[in-house]
Amino acid sequence: MLDGRRKSIQPMAERLPDGNMQALQQFVNQSPWDPLPVRRRIAERLCKAIRPEVWVVDDVSFPKCGTASAGVARQYCGALGKRANCQVAVSVHAATDTASCPLEWELFLPEEWTRDDARRRRAGIPQEVGHASKTHLALGLLDRLAGQGLTVPVIVADAGYGRSVSFRPALEQRGWAYVMAVDPKEIARPADAEPYQPAYGGLGPPTLPRYREAPRPLPGLVEETAVFQEVTWRQGSKGKMTSHFAVLQVRPSGKEACRTAQEQAGGRNRWDGVLPLRTLLVEQPEEAHEPTGYWMTNLPATTPIADLVRWAKMRWRIEHDYRELKHGLGLDHFEGRTWRGWHHHVTLVTAAQAFLTLRRLDPKAQMPA
């Protein structure tokens, strides 16, 4: 939190009157302290103070040189907007319109790391850690936070997670509500579509119920039934944030949606063919000729549209978090290479950002240990 542009170990130690670079290096990179209880305490404290309306799932990238840093690989790097050599981490943030802070982190391990034992040992990657998708890591973080006894609010994510149709049912199975950005290419059927049962031909297993009309991408459904209205969701730096939105019900109909519906019904032969209803939120600014944003949610269509819009748009707080974490607190300045060192670093940066968040919420409050 001190002045100084670079927040890696050496320049930070030099800025302290009693700075000991070797001790700080040991504490961050080699010391065996467990970062999870620290992040658990941060999450408990911040959720109590912020009272989040949403938890936002996101990922962030760290451009790196070389191949030795834990999890580094050539992959899509959001910080550069292209494929590059980088690390990628998944995070969960507590957020309202006025405050936010990261609660949990996990470092994404590309598949190439699972085949190189020597490289894993040099980076100190635990044996139990393997390759997992970002959506799988996100579920693990959410499960960990829920396991602490924290109340899970509405879960928000961008289309990178929303397009994973298996991610949404996983949240539903846990009893959690979500508002998830989705790709307009996702296919669905109208809410009033009903399946029919074809006659049995006498050979093979009984035929499954099916719909007469093929599913369509979301823009086609919106053109037919959407009624847009003006919604203001917050006060921005240049005035009220306002656009036009519509809410309608659809039946997601991709292969993963059908498979999930069969599983929830108890198997292929027990499924009645009816795809579940989901609520679709659509944005089309007044000056636009077509929708510019789509969000899928398992909340009922009777949910006030102002609430749906506010939750969908609350992801902007993450950009505030990353800007402060990176530019102010040195999130991407870590120069170590180990798995443990990376987790120590992000935990300490999170603690600093949590401290600043609490100070902004109540500047006069005493800050106990």
What number is the average pLDDT over the span 1-26?
Answer: 77
Please list, in sequence order, all residues whose beta carbon lies within 8 angstroms of the beta carbon of residue 108, skipping any fewer than 6 positions away: 59, 71, 87, 88, 89, 90, 132, 134, 137
Please list, in sequence order, all residues whose beta carbon lies within 8 angstroms of the beta carbon of residue 253, skipping any fewer than 6 positions away: 187, 188, 189, 211, 215, 275
Average pLDDT, the chain: 89
Please list, in sequence order, all residues whose beta carbon lies within 8 angstroms of the beta carbon of residue 342, skipping any fewer than 6 positions away: 69, 70, 71, 87, 107, 334, 336
What number is the average pLDDT over the span 107-130?
Answer: 94
Question: Would you kindly state where each structural domain of the chain is located, as residue ranges?
Answer: 35-156+316-369, 159-195+215-314
> Worst-scoring range by mean pLDDT, 88-92, 232-236, 300-304?
232-236
- E strand spans, the chain: 54-63, 73-77, 82-95, 100-107, 154-157, 178-181, 187-190, 216-217, 229-236, 239-252, 278-283, 293-297
pLDDT in tens, 33-45: 999 999 999 999 9
pLDDT interval class at 366 (50, 70, 90)? low
| SS percent in the chain: helix, strand, coil, step 5 | 35, 25, 40
DSSP symbol at 322? H
- Widest CA span in the chain: 86
241 forms bridges with which residues in the sheet? 234
Contact 63, 77 (CB under 8 A): yes
pLDDT score of 293: 95
Residue 92's closest CA among 103, 76, 108? 103
pLDDT interval class at 268 (50, 70, 90)? low
pLDDT interval class at 1 (50, 70, 90)? low
Q: Looking at per-residue confidence, does 4 or 298 come out higher? A: 298
Inform me whether the pLDDT recorded for 281 exceeds 90: yes
CA 322 – CA 318 distance, rounded (Å): 6
User: What SS3 state is found at 127?
Assistant: coil
pTM listed for this prediction: 0.90
Reduce the secondary structure of 197-259 to three states and give it as a string.
CCCCCCCCCCCCCECCCCCEEHHHHHHHHCCCEEEEEEEECCEEEEEEEEEEEEEECCHHHHH
